[in-house]
Amino acid sequence: MNPAEEIKSKLDITEVLGEYISLRPAGGNLRAVCPFHQEKTPSFMVSPEKQIWHCFGCGRGGDIFGFVMEMEGLNFSEALRLLAPKAGVTLKREDVAETSKRSRLLDILAIAADYYHLQLFKNEAIKNYLKTRGLNEETVRNFKIGYSPDSWDDIINILKTKKYSDEEIFLAGLSAKKEGTAKYYNRFRDRIMFPINNVAGQTIGFSARVNPANTNPELDKMGKYINSPQTNVYDKSRVLFALDKAKQAIKQENLVIIVEGQMDAISSHQHGFKNTAASSGTALTGEQIKLIKRYTNNVALAFDADNAGQIAADRGIKEAMAAELDIKVIIIPGGKDPDEALKNNPAAWGEAIKAAAPMMEYYFAKVLGESDLTQASGKRLVAKKILEMINKFSNKIEIDHWLKRLSEKIDIGEEVLRETINTLRKPGEINNTPKISLADRIDTRQSREERLSELLLSLVLKYPDFTEYVANNLASEHLDGLHNRLFYNQLIIYYNTNKALDYRSFRGHLESQNPALASQLDTLSLLADKDFAEMDLVLVRGEIIKIILALKKFNLKNRMTEIEKQIASAENNNDSQASSDLMSKLKLLSEESKELDI
């Protein structure tokens, strides 16, 4: 058994996918909203029995490796590395593609994180400093906080002994190049190291705080905190600090708390608020919002008093509102940031989270409280600020709701406000209808006949007792799509030979005939549960009869249309005999159509 097969045999697809998306029962399978394209009606199906998944909205599908590769943006070897530890499988060096640059960079960063973590426990001063910051040893170990010694080349030398090149260490963001020379030196020296992980828990970079006891002015010039540069594995716009540790709690609570600093997130986790992640002091990006939406649509933002007024100017808020996230604002009690608030009174922090106000409610109260509504200038200022915020919504219902609310609060007509908000929009922004991606259009490109053909095949697979009835009442020519006709022919051949329809055996038969049909079997086996998860057998029979009738009608109509074209051509060529023969055929088809009640 090769490593990939061993991993698949030890991991359950529902557990792996369940770390990313919320799965709900659908017959013998599971259903979810697809994480790869925008949709409101779930069309993403997972089969625990067959260990496969497929989205009927965007057409993607596969096994656990395909899913992880799509979600994490990994190649196969990287997905293999990621899933192997979860399955308890040890990979040999030859199992991982030697050419994977990303894999080698991740290896380098993992070694560095281990080294820095070990160095921290050798430095009593740093350990004591972290204690004064309120962090216990369990938290330090859980977040793998480390320390980079005051050395120019220690981590470089360690990595070079492990056969990593200067160039690779540089590309991992751990070294810098001395200007005008070929020499490299440590990027991080005498700093407390906070590993930054991707959502899968792999270290992709570091945030480094200068040693509080540092007396070297050169290190001070570099800044209190320095972070890894952007690399092939680290892009700060695509990661949220501590999300890898928070994702399960976020799903359970159906809420993510977004704080600004890494210490805010670490302290939150230590005090039990494990559904917390940090934006690391930057505005939320579209990629970060996509990460959040894997786990929840509910966000509570923790701003300090100084930053709360900047909500309207925060482009991250616009992204979040356009993605239709439900956003609330936490007012930090008794402290300038969550870390300090938790030190002062953890219970009060919990109450502040519960009392978080919907963002627009909070913003209305704040802006109205700062203005004099008895003056026209005050109303004008309030309208300007709040309309700028309303303008960020993409949902027309929400826009309408808040325009009415603003009209009531400042006693200005809705129509005036609507005219004003339109002047704030750039050309093309007035229509807030979301753009539909190519993936969203794939399904609509299928003809109705092709969709019905696939549905009929999927129903036969789910309810094999109806195979004989379908075989006796439907010819392959009635199905739309060459792939569907080929599949149906093989299904009937298999059924007539075995007088039964066993999924695994039938799949083996297809593999030997046409591997593409085996892949189609995987997809079709999920389709019936998408639309007919728990249907009574009497109703199933009724659906099958209706679909067969519809397919026959379509087929007849197409044949009649084709003959009509041939008649016109024969008449144009003055071929009376051909025209007469074709008319006879058309008459027979017409009579047949009457029997089907066309």
**pLDDT, tens digit (0-9, with 9 covering 90-100), for 38-81:** 777 888 999 988 889 999 888 888 999 999 988 887 778 888 88
The arithmetic mean of pLDDT across residues 218-244, rounded, is: 86
pLDDT-derived band at 313 (thresholds 50, 70, 90) equals very low
**pLDDT, tens digit (0-9, with 9 covering 90-100), for 544-571:** 998 998 888 888 887 888 888 888 888 8
Please determine whether the domains at 101-234 and 446-593 fall in the same fold group of CATH: no
Hey, what CATH topology would domain 101-234 get? DNA primase DNAg catalytic core, N-terminal domain (3.90.980)
Q: What is the CATH number of domain 3-95?
A: 3.90.580.10
The pLDDT, as a whole number, for residue 434 is: 36
Hey, what CATH topology would domain 446-593 get? DNAb Helicase; Chain A (1.10.860)
Rounded Cα gap, residues 500 and 479, in angstroms: 22
**pLDDT, tens digit (0-9, with 9 covering 90-100), for 39-48:** 778 889 999 8
Rounded Cα gap, residues 485 and 449, in angstroms: 12
* Residue 429 clears pLDDT 60, i.e. is over it: no
The pLDDT, as a whole number, for residue 572 is: 85
Mean pLDDT of the chain: 84
The pLDDT, as a whole number, for residue 426 is: 54
Rounded Cα gap, residues 541 and 462, in angstroms: 12
**CATH class name, domain 243-365:** alpha beta
* Residue 250 clears pLDDT 70, i.e. is over it: yes
* Residue 106 clears pLDDT 80, i.e. is over it: yes
Q: Chain-centre distance of CA 316, in angstroms?
A: 18
**What is the value of pTM for the model shown?**
0.64
**pLDDT, tens digit (0-9, with 9 covering 90-100), for 184-211:** 999 999 999 999 999 888 999 999 999 9
The arithmetic mean of pLDDT across residues 336-343, rounded, is: 89
Task: Give the residue, 319 or 330, on which the prediction is more confident.
Answer: 330
* Residue 135 clears pLDDT 90, i.e. is over it: yes
State the DSSP code for 310: T
Amino acid at 323: A
Helices and strands per DSSP (H, E), number in the chain: 29, 16
Judge contact between 530 and 54, C-beta under 8 A. no
Which range is most confident: 91-105, 306-320, 390-404?
390-404
The arithmetic mean of pLDDT across residues 336-358, rounded, is: 91
The pLDDT, as a whole number, for residue 65 is: 93
The arithmetic mean of pLDDT across residues 226-237, rounded, is: 91
**pLDDT, tens digit (0-9, with 9 covering 90-100), for 570-598:** 888 888 888 787 788 777 877 766 666 64
**pLDDT, tens digit (0-9, with 9 covering 90-100), for 408-418:** 888 888 888 88
Judge contact between 548 and 470, C-beta under 8 A. yes
* Residue 483 clears pLDDT 90, i.e. is over it: no
* Residue 392 clears pLDDT 60, i.e. is over it: yes
The pLDDT, as a whole number, for residue 597 is: 62
**Burial label, 442 (beta-carbon count in 10 A; 0-12, 13-18, 19+):** middle
User: Where exactly are the structural domains of the chain?
Assistant: 3-95, 101-234, 243-365, 446-593
